[in-house]
Structure 1
Amino acid sequence: MTKDSLSYFSKEDISKGTIVTVPVRRRLIPAIVESTERIEDVKTKLRQSSYQIKKIEKVNMAKIFSTEFISAVLDTADYTTGTAGAIINTLVPKMILDNPKKVNVNKHYSNTKKNIQKGMTYEQLVLQTDKDERFGTYRSLIREAFARKQSVFICMPTLVDVERFVSKSEKGIGAYMFGFHSGLTKKKMLDNWNSALNEKHPIAIIGTGSFLSIPRSDIKTIILERESSSFYKSQVRPYVDIRVFADFLARKIGARIIYADSFLRIETLYSHYEGLSAELSPLRFRPLSTATHFIIDMKNYKPTVKGKYEIISHEMARLVEDTKRDAKHMFIFSARKGLSPTTVCSDCG
Structure 2
Amino acid sequence: MFVIDVIPFARFAPAGALSYRFNEYVLPGTIVSVPLRKKTVPGIVVACTSVRDAKESIKTAPFVLRSGAVTTTGILPKSYRIALTKTATYHLLPMGVILREMIPEAFLTHGFPKKLFAGTGHSLSFCEKTYTLRIEEYKKIISCTKGTVLIVVPTAVEIDRFADTFPSAIVVTGALTQKKRLASLKKIKDADIIITTPKYSFIPIPHLAHIIIERESANSYLTVARSPIDTRIAINALAHERSMQTTIGDYPLRMEIRPKPGSALKSISASPIKIFDVRKKITQAPFKALPEQILSIIKSTHEQHGRSAIFAVRRGYASTVICRDCGTSVRTTDGRPLSLITVAGKRVFRSSNGDTVIDAKALCDKCGSWNLIPIGVGVERIAEAVRNNFPNAPLVLFDTNTIRTPRDARSASTKFDIPGTIIVGTEALIPWLNPSNPISLAVVASADSLLALPFWRTRERLARLAFSLTERAEKVAVVTRRPDDAIFTTLENRLDNAFFKEEDSMRKQLNYPPYGHIVTIRIESSITKIEKDTALVQSMLKPKTGIEIPDRYATQNKVVRTIVYKYIDIQKWSDEAQELSQKIYRLPPNITVRIDPESLW
Q: 1:48 to 1:25 in 2, by over 3 A?
A: farther
SS in 2 for 1:179: strand
Q: Cα distance, 1:239 vs. partner?
A: 0.7
Partner of 1:106: 113
1:273 pairs with 237, 260, 269, which one?
A: 260
Higher strand fraction: Structure 1 or Structure 2? 2
1:8-19 matches, within 5 Å, as 8=20, 10-12=22-24, 14-15=26-27, 17-19=29-31
Aligned residue type for 2:101: T
Cα deviation, 1:136-183, whole Å, max 9, x if unaligned, reads 11122112113xxx221111111111111120122xxx1xx2112222
**Partner Cα distance (1:248, 1:85) in 2:** 17
Q: Does structure 2 retain, via aligned residues, the 8 Å contact 1:4–1:84?
A: no
Residue 4, structure 1, aligned to residue 16, structure 2: yes
Q: CA deviation at 1:208?
A: 0.4
The verdict on how the C-alpha distance between 1:290 and 1:49 changes in structure 2, with shifts beyond 3 A counting, is closer
Q: What is the deviation of 1:66?
A: 2.7
8 A contact 1:155–1:209 mirrored in 2: yes
1:263 Cα deviation (Å)? 0.5
Higher RCO (C-alpha 8 Å, min separation 6)? 1
SS at match of 2:86: helix
> What is aligned with 1:155?
152
Q: Distance in 2 between matches of 1:249 and 1:91?
A: 11
Indicate whether 1:58 and 2:45 are aligned: no
* Deviation at residue 232 of structure 1 after TM alignment: 0.7
Question: Structure 1 321/261 Cα, relative in aligned 2: closer, same or farther at 3 Å?
Answer: closer
Q: 1:74: Cα distance to partner?
A: 2.2
Partner of 2:216: 227
1:86 deviates by 2.0
Q: Is the 8 A contact 2:130 2:270 kept in 1?
A: no
For 1:18, give the aligned amino acid: T
Q: 2:43 aligns with which of 31, 34, 46?
A: 31
Alpha-carbon distance in structure 2 between the residues aligned to 1:109 and 1:33: 21
| Structure 2, unpaired ranges of 5+ | 1-7, 275-291, 309-440, 444-476, 484-601
Letter in 1 for 2:156: L
Give the 5 Å matches for 1:1-349. 1=8, 2=13, 3-6=15-18, 8=20, 10-12=22-24, 14-15=26-27, 17-22=29-34, 29-34=41-46, 45-46=53-54, 49=57, 51=59, 57-63=69-75, 65-96=76-107, 100=109, 103-110=110-117, 115=118, 120-146=120-146, 150-170=147-167, 174=168, 177-196=169-188, 199=189, 201=190, 203-269=192-258, 272-273=259-260, 284-289=265-270, 322-328=300-306, 329=308, 330=441
Q: Is the 8 A contact 2:273 2:478 kept in 1?
A: no
Aligned length: 282
Say which is worse superposed, 70-79 or 218-227, in terms of deviation: 70-79
- Partner of 2:269, secondary structure, is coil
1:86 and 1:238 in contact (8 A); partners too: no
Cα–Cα, structure 1 residues 186 and 72, in superposed 2: closer, same or farther, change >3 Å? same
Tell me the distance in 1 between the aligned counterparts of 2:187 and 2:69. 31
Unaligned 5+ segments in structure 1 are: 275-281, 294-311, 339-349
TM-score by length of 1: 0.67
Residue number in structure 2 paired with 1:345: none
Instruction: For residue 182 of structure 2, give the secondary structure of its aligned residue in structure 1.
Output: helix
Task: Report the Cα distance in structure 2 between the residues aligned to 1:84 and 1:20, rounded to whole angstroms.
Answer: 16
Task: Give 1:227 shift.
Answer: 0.6
Closer/same/farther in 2, CA of residues 61 and 13 from structure 1, 3 Å limit = farther
Per the alignment, residue 364 of structure 2 pairs with none
Output the amino acid matched with 1:58. Answer: V
Q: Residues 77 and 112 of structure 2 are in contact (CA less than 8 Å); yes or no, is this contact kept in structure 1?
A: no
Amino acid at match of 1:186: Q
- Measured after TM superposition, the shift of residue 85 of structure 1 is 2.1
Distance 2:40 2:176 in 1: 30
The alpha-carbon distance between structure 1 residues 318 and 243, as it changes in their structure 2 partners (threshold 3 A), is closer
Please, what TM-score do these two structures have when normalized by structure 2? 0.41
- Rate the CA distance shift 1:107–1:159 in 2: closer, same or farther, 3 A: same
1:317 and 1:235 map into 2 onto residues whose CA distance is: 38
- Contact kept? 1:109, 1:217, Cα under 8 Å: yes
Cα displacement (A) at 1:192 = 0.2
Amino acid in structure 1 at the alignment position of 2:160: E
RMSD, aligned CA: 3.8
Going from structure 1 to structure 2, the CA distance change for 1:36 and 1:46 (only over 3 Å counts) comes to closer
